Amino acid sequence: MPKKRVTAAEYLAEVDEVMRLILGDMIQNAATANFHWDAARRAIGANPEAASEHLAKAWVPLVTAIRVEREDALRILNRTMKLLDLELPDDDDSARVE
């Protein structure tokens, strides 16, 4: 038996909680990077070693978690947009006079 095609609205509702968790994690990781960036900025003149440690701690979430979360969020967003695009009328159809 063929599977029923999922609409964009159904898919969006299905992945809403996951997407919000991903975006929330991105916010938390961005806040961590921001905290350490600011700490490095404040420490750099007086304590370059501490500044270096903070920069490394800012680098980690940017290179690891945020990158993965961004890819996951874009995968969901692109799939939703693709489904929605299939449901929207083509531009050519709307310009046609009958």
Is 73 contained in some domain? yes
Radius of gyration of the chain measured on its C-alpha atoms: 22
pLDDT computed for residue 96 by the predictor: 46
Residue 74 lies in a domain: yes
From residue 89, how far is each of 6, 11, 85, 92, 95 by CA, in Å?
17, 19, 8, 8, 10
pLDDT at 98: 46
- Is residue 29 included in any domain, yes or no? no
User: Does the structure show a pLDDT above 90 at 1?
Assistant: no
pLDDT at 82 over 70: yes
pLDDT score for 90 = 82
Q: Residue 16 domain-assigned?
A: no
| Residue 36 domain-assigned (yes or no) | no
Please tell me the total count of domains within the chain. 1
54 vs 42: CA distance, rounded Å: 10
Domain boundaries, position 62: 51-87
pLDDT tens digits along 43-77: 999 999 999 999 999 999 999 999 999 999 999 99
Structure-token pair, residue 27: 């916010």
Side chain identity, residue 3? K
Has residue 38 been placed in a domain?
no
Q: Is residue 70 part of a domain?
A: yes
CA 91 to chain centre: 29
Residue 92, domain member (yes or no): no
Q: 78: part of which helix (H) or strand (E)?
A: helix 65-87
